[in-house]
Amino acid sequence: MSTDKKLDKNELAALVASDIAPGSFVNLGIGQPTLVSNYLVPEQKVTLHTENGMLGMGPEAHGDEVDPDLINAGKIPVTELPGAAYFHHADSFAIMRGGHLDVCVLGAFQVSATGDLANWHTGAPDAIPAVGGAMDLATGAKDVYVMMSLFTRDGVSKLVKECSYPLTGVGCVTRVYTNEAVFLLKEDGVHVRETFGTTFEELASKMDIPLIRAADGS
């Protein structure tokens, strides 16, 4: 699929939500990924986990729905779904580290062509590192999806041959969702599943990694 414009954050979140398999247990990282909760539908029966100790999280809370004690890991007010459960922080991390999550959706500074993830520190002297539970999610989830803008403000691709920033996880990312394309990271290389506001050829000319055109969208 190709569209005539780049996706905004909400359109990208809706796309990620539609790609999550029914019945999955999912964690949404801080930043863009939190928007995914607003586009999951009941028919998917997706159970959201948040690392501060909750299963069964619903969409973001607004207006009278806001409970200051009910927040996700990014301190955003959220709702709860029927059957929601709360537990100790240590139990929450046991879920993450124990391989019980089918998918986690994370933001990133960089992702390598082989699936390495850098999302906790740019290495800049004045930057404040904040790994949180990202390393636990990156190594514990069965699939790691990344949501990010494809290029920096300077036009440099964040999907790179090798990460130059400190790594969060090695070989863990399976899909990269960006405002300009969806990439599938496979053993034989980086497949472009679909593009938005650009073409395969334009992407290939701006990125310093070989790209493979996905023949069947999978």
**Active-site residue set:** 51
Place of tokens 């034989």: 188
- In this structure, the strands spanning 173-177 and 159-160 are unpaired
Contacts of range 36-42, beta carbons closer than 8 Å, 24 or more positions apart: 36/105, 36/147, 37/78, 38/10, 38/13, 39/10, 39/13, 39/14, 41/17
Q: How far apart are CA 127 and CA 137, in angstroms?
A: 22
Cα atoms in the Cβ-side hemisphere of radius 13 Å centred on 197 = 9
What's CA 51's distance to the chain center, in Å? 15
Contact 143, 102 (CB under 8 A): yes
Residues in the chain: 218
Contact 181, 195 (CB under 8 A): yes
151-166 residues labelled b (16+ CB within 10 A) or e (exposed): beeeeebbbbeebebe
